[in-house]
């Protein structure tokens, strides 16, 4: 398993090149953010994307995955067809950029359950959207990695596993977030159930006593049993990247160095 760090670990406004400079010598890979109006977006040219890859690799950093927050705004599960189509367009853009960057997977939030979009319709509509995207992912040679998040959806490891299996595709896998299950489960149990389906892993920590969003803390300060998590990952044969996804600390340089050292302990 290799250490990776996400764009959101850096202060808002930090460019991709500045992030790469900051994690140089500390991390193996970097997870870039794909956002509207950002450096990586639907408007970014192929040449610009390839320049980012060249800069990263010249500094010994590999971009192995892409993430986005845009699917909270444009859910793949919404009844609003215009927003759903925009979400599909965003994922296609991510897949194309990932291919050029040499990334293996893109993070996808599959759907959002709310008062307007009930659980069953979210299940069906998100499935239809991802099936629509599967052929494009296959053509690009990039995996759609479904992440478990606080979206009131896929609330058990059995359902998460069966949802992934429903696509019967090597290009639809799981992006497992360790900290996101602490409020209602044990990550090591989820890892064993998901098994070979896990293609990427987010590492974050969470204090269960808090019970809400304020419970997310920096690595090694929460309730995650990292020894058991590591044992479970080894047991299922996971050899990919572990990507830190932690809000930036008060001092970026100190924070990034701390995350690197904490991940050394975890690995």
**H helix or E strand, kind and range, residue 30:** strand 29-33
Q: Can you give the pLDDT at residue 49?
A: 98
| Confidence tier at 21 by pLDDT (50, 70, 90) | very high
- Asked if residue 227 has pLDDT above 90, the reply is yes
Query: What 8-state DSSP symbol labels residue 249?
Result: P
Mind listing the pLDDT tens digit for each residue in 191-225? 999 999 999 999 999 999 988 888 999 999 999 99
251 pLDDT exceeds 90?
no
Q: Residue 170: which pLDDT band, with cuts at 50, 70 and 90?
A: very high
Residue 144 has pLDDT above 80, yes or no: yes
Distance of alpha carbon 203 from alpha carbon 15, whole angstroms: 22
DSSP output for 72-92: GTS-TT-S-HHHHHHHHHHHH
Average pLDDT (110-138) is 97
Per-residue pLDDT at 155 exceeds 90: yes
Q: What is the pLDDT of residues 29-60, one digit of tens each?
A: 999 999 999 999 999 999 999 999 999 999 99
Q: Do the strands 62-67 and 143-147 form a parallel or antiparallel pair, or are they unpaired?
A: unpaired
Q: What is the pLDDT of residue 135?
A: 97
What integer is the mean pLDDT of 73-98? Answer: 98
Neighbours of 213 (CB within 10 A): 9
């Amino acid at each position: 398993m290799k250490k990776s760090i996400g764009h959101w670990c850096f202060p808002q406004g930090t460019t991709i090149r500045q992030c790469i400079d900051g994690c140089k010598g500390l991390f193996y890979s970097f997870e870039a953010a794909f956002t509207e109006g950002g450096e990586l977006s639907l408007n970014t040219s192929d040449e610009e994307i390839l320049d980012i890859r060249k800069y990263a690799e010249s500094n010994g950093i590999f971009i192995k995955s892409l993430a986005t927050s845009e699917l909270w705004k444009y859910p793949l599960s919404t009844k609003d067809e215009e927003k759903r189509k925009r979400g599909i367009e965003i994922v296609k853009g991510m897949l194309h950029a990932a291919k050029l960057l040499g990334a293996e997977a893109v993070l996808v939030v599959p759907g959002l359950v709310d008062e307007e979009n009930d659980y069953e319709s979210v299940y069906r509509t998100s499935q239809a959207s991802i099936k629509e995207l599967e052929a494009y992912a296959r053509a690009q040679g990039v995996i759609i990695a479904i992440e478990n998040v606080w979206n009131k959806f896929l609330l058990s490891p059995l359902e998460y596993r069966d949802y992934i299996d429903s696509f019967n595709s090597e290009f639809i896998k799981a992006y497992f977030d360790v900290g996101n299950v602490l409020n209602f489960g044990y990550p090591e149990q989820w890892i064993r159930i998901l098994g070979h389906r896990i293609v990427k892993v987010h590492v974050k920590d969470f204090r269960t006593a808090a019970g809400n969003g304020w419970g997310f803390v920096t690595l090694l300060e929460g309730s995650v049993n990292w020894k058991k998590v590591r044992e479970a990952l080894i047991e299922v044969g996971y050899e990919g990247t572990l990507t830190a996804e932690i809000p930036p600390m008060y001092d970026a340089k100190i924070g990034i160095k701390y995350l690197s050292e904490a991940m050394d302990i975890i690995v």
